[in-house]
Amino acid sequence: MADRLLVIGEMLIDIARTPDGLVAEHVGGSPANVAMGLARLGHDVDFATVLGRDDRGLRCTTLLDEVGVALLPGSVRDEATSTADATIDANGSATYLFDLHWDLPAVTPTAGTIHVHTGSIATTLTPGEAEVTAALTDARARATTSYDPNVRPTIMGVPATVRPRVEELVALSDVVKASDEDVAFLYGDTPVEEVMGRWAALGPGLVVVTLGRDGVTYRVSSTGETTHEPTAADRVVDTVGAGDSFMAGLVSGLVDLGLLGGPDARARLAAAGTSDVAPAVARALATSGLTVGRAGAYAPTRAEIGL
């Protein structure tokens, strides 16, 4: 039976309303982007989410089918598909109105699941957040886990409320990836390196923080060594989905290296040095570098990154 990766989280429709009266809808959701990114990189991927039996939900399921992501049973429900409605003013500022549904059923991974990833809105939105926690907790006996906070302040609340929840999930994860913006929201002026150390002490074998145009910094827990790598982007069209593409590339690379994928892989990751994880970070930089060079949340294939 082929090894499978499971992603848990939201998939929604982004609605953009511009000052000229145009309205455009796009499929979005950070975990959904990660799931599709992993599939495009050749992995067998399952996705646990909440979608409606409406036209927007059909659009989402059609896209998942096209890239080869399998929806777990129970992911399509009677409620409407979630939306993020953004009204953009003449200065480019956006005002958001969210209609989110996250009544996630109990998650039962497919046989052969070796890794579980989650992140973003799904990890803090009730009532489904409890099922996310249960799924990560249960998975650790047989699979590795990863987490991307991908903080959304307008939905998740104030830092004092969000921070304990983030740290709870960090402690359940073998790999954590965040952006420098996430870190600044959660910890204010605390240096990134200090936050990485704080998270590493909770249990992950690898902590990664993306720095936008300044590349990435990462810390291996085996030695506490912190390393910086520059961006691989040649040009930037937009940054939509860049962090999700990075996450997909990172997980993909670590799975291929045998540093994610079950209890034995967890032990290898816990003992890994910087040089051991560097190829996976390089893959993540390559995938995100290609994503920012195209409009939207584009997910590159192995061939496109030279594999």
Q: What is the pLDDT of residues 187-196, one digit of tens each?
A: 999 999 999 9
**Where is average pLDDT lowest: 66-75, 213-222, 296-305?**
296-305
What is the H or E stretch that residue 47 is in?
strand 44-48
Quote the percentage of the chain above a pLDDT of 70. Answer: 99
Q: What is the pTM of this model?
A: 0.95
Both tokens assigned to 56: 């927007």
Residue-averaged pLDDT of the chain: 93
**Where is average pLDDT lowest: 65-69, 79-83, 84-88, 178-182?**
84-88
- 15/176: higher pLDDT: 176
Average pLDDT on 44-61 reads: 97
Average pLDDT on 210-231 reads: 95
**Per-residue model confidence (pLDDT) at position 93:** 63
Average pLDDT on 42-71 reads: 97
Structural domains of the chain in order of their starting residue, each with its CATH number:
4-300 (3.40.1190.20)
State yes or no: pLDDT of 107 exceeds 70.
Answer: yes
Distance CA 119, CA 7 (A): 9
Distance CA 134, CA 124 (A): 13
| Residues 115 and 5 sit within 8 Å (Cβ to Cβ) | yes
Both tokens assigned to 202: 């909770």
Distance CA 203, CA 170 (A): 7
Say which amino acid occupies 29.
Answer: G
| Residues 191 and 256 sit within 8 Å (Cβ to Cβ) | no
**Do you know the residue count of the chain?**
307
Burial 115-124 (b: 16+ CB within 10 A, else e): bbbbbbbbbb
